[in-house]
Structure 1
Amino acid sequence: MAVTTNKEFEQKYLGHLNDYTTAIAWSNQGNILAATSAAGEVVLWNDGEIKNLATASDASVDCAVFSHDGEFLAVGGQNGQVKIWQIQSWEQIELITTLENAPKWVDKMVWNPTKNQLAYNLGQYLQIWDTESQSVIVTLNFENSSVLSIAWRNDGKYLAVGGNQGVKIWDCEDWDAEPYFLNMPTVSLAIAWSPDGKFFASGNMDFTLSVYESSYIPSEDPQPWIMRGFPGKLRQIAWSNLRNSSNVPLLATSSVEGMVVWEKSKDESLGWEATVLTNHVDIIQDISFAPNSLLLASVASDGWLCLWKSAKRVSQVLTGSTGGFSCLAWHPQGKLLAAGGDQGEILIWSKIQRTQGFSKK
């Protein structure tokens, strides 16, 4: 493990759920953190204060997401229920709907980045629930397999869905139109649009990474970049908000216990150049860039949360999980960092504020 020489974050909070922490998410508005567990718990944290929205049951809750305006929180899990709360203030939180989908298991969900529409998986299907009409407005059929990943483009105009044989992309202004299909000879496990919407990446089961230029979607022949040589399937991918000297965001990927950061070269013939990051000694469970920064965070089953300065070298290693870490999430302003543990831990670190001293001569 790398030695920390200059601390950037210090522990602010440690709490415990009754089982494995399955998901954590910050509200885009304010300082509310949501966390869920394999025991079925749903809790909110706000500056040290805790609210229990759901207590332990016999069914795991596996995903938690806030709407772009922070007004709605949705969770889904093993029993097929999708629960949605409206958060008008910390004092006024109301469960507004429970969608019953048993025996299907809901473990993937994401809100539209521009309007309050929630996409979630139901086996090989995907449903879109709308807050304004309080109803499911469309059911989409992926057909080739169960839905394994979902990603809206940041302008909310396109919805990508990954699974066996590739990715289908729907035009959100015409749900009835046939989706565009990015055909792949593998399974698409993790997908993400770049924040500027210019690139689309898919991490795949066959140890490859596919990167597309959005301007070639749709196209008869989108001509993706294919990166190979990973030690295992691509489990996590993350884009930076900041761009490099080529005016392109960085792309981080994880496979087994290693990471690779990809930077697009100004020289088109070189494509994407790779920087290999190694420090973890067990499977990496989550990765994420800090907002408006090239500071990259990773958590793994080894119980380490690594901070990578400029996405190149370890600047600090955070611990506190008695087992391994399961998930992480950055506060939208980057001032707080939260992680969940496989023993039910919820840890929050705050960025250390540096002050300069002045002396009189």
Structure 2
Amino acid sequence: MIDRIRRLLIQSVFTIPPMVALLGTFTLWGQEPPITDIAFSLDGRSLVGCSQKGLQVFSWPELRLQKTVEVSCTNLHCLVFSPDGNQLAVGGGNPSEEGIVEIFSWPECKSQMKLSGHDDSVLSIVWRGNTNLVSASLDRLLNQWDLETQKTVKTYQGHSRGVSSACILKNGAMVTAGHDQSVRVWDAESGDLIRSLNQHTKPVNSMAICPGSAGKPMIATAAGDRTIRFWQPTIGRIMRYIRLESEPLDIAWVSESQMVASCVDGQARVIDTVNVKVLQSIPVIKGWAYAVAVHPIDSTIAIAGSDGQLHRVRLQKSN
């Protein structure tokens, strides 16, 4: 089983296909830890990455390093902006000891609070409004936090192994996925488990909600079995799936009909989510491509991975 936070880094030589423009890079070969997650600010002017160096803030689209921010723990795995864009939550911890969520103001990047309540590293964070969030951990638990009191108000139990991803649907239900190969749907208010979906055959690495989908909400999950599966979680239905040539580590929707997956072989794969086929395979990272983010305004994506590599890529326009 491949564990996302305990991977051995590999490297591969790549070239950029003619239909794809590699627009900007930030790389320090052999000197940097891998960038494990990235997120755009709401205005699209900054890109933030996390690694064992802390937080790194880059200008967009130039990818100039603007500042490096120290975080209270060295092993960082996830970061996400609050809905209003004024705060940044960062998750990580010390394996088998402690999981931490630290909240920073944005754009000042001043630490506002540190939330400690897990017994293992935090792998995913999802906001519930601007004053509540849920943290998912390798300790198998999800904790909901009230940021005004800095206390845990609810704990969700049900996964048999670490929890790698969490998201909140428009109807308020929460969906989680983990290393137990399952996708679980919860009543976020009561904490009750509604259903468990078990079609994956390896640990789930990432999950993302389809933007603006009409009718029942749809999510996608990417796992170590090399598949990306598309679900309607509120009714427990798997709609379709695609198996890639390389394990997807992270996924992000570009539109309702297209998504990008960053993979172990360093490639970004653009996927037609309706016809479930790969439209483009883009070699980007020399090593593993840990994270992908889609710019909120323009038509580019950011890919991050091994050796602190960070790239800006423009996708081929759909016909």
Q: What is the TM-score when the length of structure 2 is the normalising length? A: 0.75
Change (3 A) 1:176 1:287: closer
Matched, 1:252 2:220: yes
Q: Distance in 2 between matches of 1:301 and 1:280?
A: 11
Secondary structure of the residue aligned to 2:220 is: strand
Within 5 Å, which residues of 2 pair with 1:90-239?
Answer: 95=67, 98-99=69-70, 101=72, 104-123=74-93, 124-131=99-106, 135-153=110-128, 155-163=129-137, 164-172=139-147, 174-186=148-160, 187-194=162-169, 196=170, 198-212=172-186, 216-219=187-190, 222-239=192-209
> 1:308 and 2:317 equivalent?
no
3-state DSSP of counterpart to 2:157: strand
- Contact (CA 8 Å) 1:300, 1:324: kept in 2 or not? no
Q: Is contact 1:280–1:302 with CA below 8 Å preserved after alignment?
A: no
Runs of 4+ in 1 over 6 A off after TM superposition: 87-90
- Deviation digits for residues 38-70 of structure 1 (CA, Å, limit 9, x no counterpart): 733xxxxxxxxxxxxxxxxxx555444333234
In the other structure, the counterpart of 2:212 is 242
Q: Distance in 1 between matches of 2:111 and 2:136?
A: 21
Count how many residue pairs are aligned between Structure 1 and Structure 2.
292
Unpaired stretches in structure 2, ≥5 consecutive residues: 1-17, 94-98
* Alignment CA distance shift 1:165-1:133 (3 Å): same
- Note if contact 2:165-2:178 (Cα within 8 Å) is conserved in structure 1: yes
Matched, 1:12 2:21: yes
Q: Residues of 2 paired with 1:281 and 1:94: CA distance?
A: 36
Summarize the Cα distance change of 1:228–1:178 in structure 2 as closer, same or farther, 3 Å threshold.
Answer: same
Once residues 89 and 233 of structure 1 are traced to their aligned partners in structure 2, the CA distance between those partners, rounded to angstroms, is 34
For 2:197 and 2:300, locate their aligned partners in 1 and report how far apart those are by CA, in whole Å. 33
SS for the counterpart of 1:241 is coil
Gap change, CA 1:283 and 1:109, over 3 Å in 2: same
Q: In structure 2, what is the equivalent of residue 299 of structure 1?
A: 262
Unpaired segments of 5 or more residues in structure 1? 1-8, 21-37, 41-58, 266-270, 355-361
Q: 2:275, 2:133 → 1: CA distance?
A: 31
The CA RMSD measured in Å over matched residues stands at 3.6
CA contact (8 A) 1:83 1:98 kept: yes
Distance 1:89-1:236 versus aligned 2 partners, 3 A rule: closer
Q: 2:39 aligns with which of 51, 65, 74?
A: 65
Contact 1:301 1:324 in 2 (8 A): yes
- Distance in 1 separating the partners of 2:248 and 2:109: 38
The Cα shift of 1:209 comes to 0.8
1:23-38 superposed matches below 5 A? none
Higher relative contact order (CA 8 A, sep 6+): 2
Q: Which digits, 9 at most, give the CA deviation of each residue in 1:284-321, with x for residues without a partner?
A: 12212114x23232232345543333444215122334
Residue of structure 2 aligned with 1:284, choices 242, 248, 256 = 248
What is the match of residue 31 of structure 2? 39
Q: Secondary structure at the match of 2:218?
A: strand
Q: Which has the larger radius of gyration?
A: 1
Instruction: Label 1:180 to 1:94 Cα distance change in 2 as closer, same or farther (>3 A).
Output: same
1:240-285, Cα deviation, whole Å (9 max, x unpaired): 01224xx2221111122112110257xxxxx222134234122112
- Alpha-carbon distance between aligned partners in 2 of 1:105 and 1:94, rounded to the nearest angstrom: 21
Matched, 1:319 2:282: yes
Q: Distance in 2 between matches of 1:72 and 1:108?
A: 17
1:348 Cα deviation (Å)?
Answer: 1.3
CA displacement 1:69-124 (0-9 Å, x = unmatched): 34665443214x34557x6997x9954x733636x323322221214112223522
Report the TM-score when normalising by structure 1: 0.68
Match of 1:275 in 2: 239
